[in-house]
């Protein structure tokens, strides 16, 4: 049975990935690391460590303490937040990934580190974006994600590290709010629709972006890490998507449940420029061919589930 370490366990993906992995592999086989003690839920739910994963020695000590063989690295300064402090974004995104790959090299382990649609840029074909294409992102987040993809493939080719990853679209969930992402509007809109019956969106109508519901994102990570390595042509990282929509499309779906829901706009120029440089929708056929990727939630199913789960929490 795997011994898994999740670094970045308090984030939007990490906070749901930990219980998801514990359901599959057993609570004692999944160790969560947090950067601070601000997350009592995680700290009371199974093995955890307070860890600054930019400290290579501290990370290696935790890996050895629990005899870890697989690292899920969910540490990232997201796109919009990264633009406020590019150096911090690069130091965290690249430093943690490098440390994870280095310890994985020593223990002959595996590393999952997500990339993102943010790894593409304005010169990338934005419709049906290919798996293999030009990648010249114009955010420090995207630059760090392209560098991370190349670093992970290097560690696989040079040292045999079992490094794999997914280019995630915007991820939507009802458990932990995302922080500092360009796609955050697609989460906030559901909360505001229930709380206020209206939402002011910071991206303009017509801004199409790839999106995915969290249950699909979690399943995709595990299915990739469990995939037969002999079938993988690509590793870092696979395009995966489930849907593409703009603010008007998701608002229309919400109105099927909340008929009077009102949407208006106050566009954030930084987030608009970032979103405009990202794909409208990706081609994820390589993931389907190489490890059987298939999304289960479309916009209709996600919206119904999001609103049901958020109403139940009220």
| Residues in 125-154 that interact with ligand VAH by CB under 6 A | 141
Residues 202 to 231 in contact with ligand VAH, rule: CB under 6 A: none
- Piece of 110-118, 124-132, 249-257, 295-303 that binds ligand VAH (CB under 6 A): 110-118
Q: How far is the CB of 259 from ligand VAH (least distance, A)?
A: 29
Closest CB to ligand VAH among residues 62, 187:
187
39 binds ligand VAH (CB under 6 A): no
Residue 116 near ligand VAH by CB under 6 A? yes
Applying CB under 6 A, among 33, 99, 124, 182 the residue interacting with ligand VAH is 182
Is 210 or 253 the residue whose CB approaches ligand VAH more closely?
210
Per-residue binder mask for ligand VAH (CB under 6 A), 72-91, x = binder:
------xx------------
Between CA 213 and CA 160 the distance in angstroms is 32
Q: How far is the CB of 187 from ligand VAH (least distance, A)?
A: 9
141 catalytic per annotation: yes
Using the rule CB under 6 A, is 170 a contact of ligand VAH? Answer: yes
Q: Which of 20, 141, 174, 213 is catalytic?
A: 141
Nearer to ligand VAH, 72 or 141 (CB): 141
- State which residue has the least CB distance to ligand VAH: 181
Positions in the binding site for ligand VAH (CB under 6 A): 78-79, 116-118, 141, 168-170, 178, 181-183
Q: Which residues are catalytic?
A: 141
């Amino acid at each position: 049975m795997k011994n898994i370490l999740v670094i970045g366990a308090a984030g939007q993906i990490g906070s749901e990935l930990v219980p998801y992995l514990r359901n599959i592999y057993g609570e004692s086989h999944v160790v969560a690391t947090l950067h601070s003690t601000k997350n009592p839920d995680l700290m009371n739910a199974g093995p955890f460590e307070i860890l600054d994963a930019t400290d290579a020695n501290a990370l290696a000590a935790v890996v050895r303490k629990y005899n870890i063989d697989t690292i899920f690295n969910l540490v990232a300064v997201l796109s919009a937040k990264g633009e406020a402090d590019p150096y911090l974004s690069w130091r965290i995104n690249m430093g943690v990934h490098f440390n994870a790959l280095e310890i994985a090299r020593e223990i002959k382990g595996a590393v999952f580190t997500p990339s993102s649609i943010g790894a593409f840029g304005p010169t990338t074909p934005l419709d049906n974006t290919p798996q293999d294409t030009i990648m010249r992102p114009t955010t420090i987040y995207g630059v760090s994600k392209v560098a991370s993809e190349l670093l992970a493939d290097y560690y696989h080719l040079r040292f045999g590290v079992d490094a794999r990853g997914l280019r995630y679209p915007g991820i939507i969930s009802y458990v932990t709010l995302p922080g500092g992402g360009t796609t955050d509007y697609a989460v906030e809109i559901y909360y505001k629709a229930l709380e206020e019956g209206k939402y002011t969106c910071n991206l303009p109508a017509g801004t199409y972006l790839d999106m995915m519901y969290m249950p699909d994102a979690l399943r995709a990570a595990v299915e990739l890490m469990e995939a037969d390595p002999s079938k993988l042509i690509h590793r870092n990282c696979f395009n995966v998507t489930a849907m593409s929509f703009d603010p008007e499309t998701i608002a229309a779906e919400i109105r099927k449940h909340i008929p009077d829901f009102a949407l208006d706009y106050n566009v954030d120029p930084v987030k608009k420029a970032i979103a405009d440089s990202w794909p409208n929708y990706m081609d994820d056929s390589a993931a389907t061919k190489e490890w059987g990727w298939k999304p289960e939630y479309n916009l209709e199913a996600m919206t119904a589930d999001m609103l049901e789960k958020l109403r139940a929490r009220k």
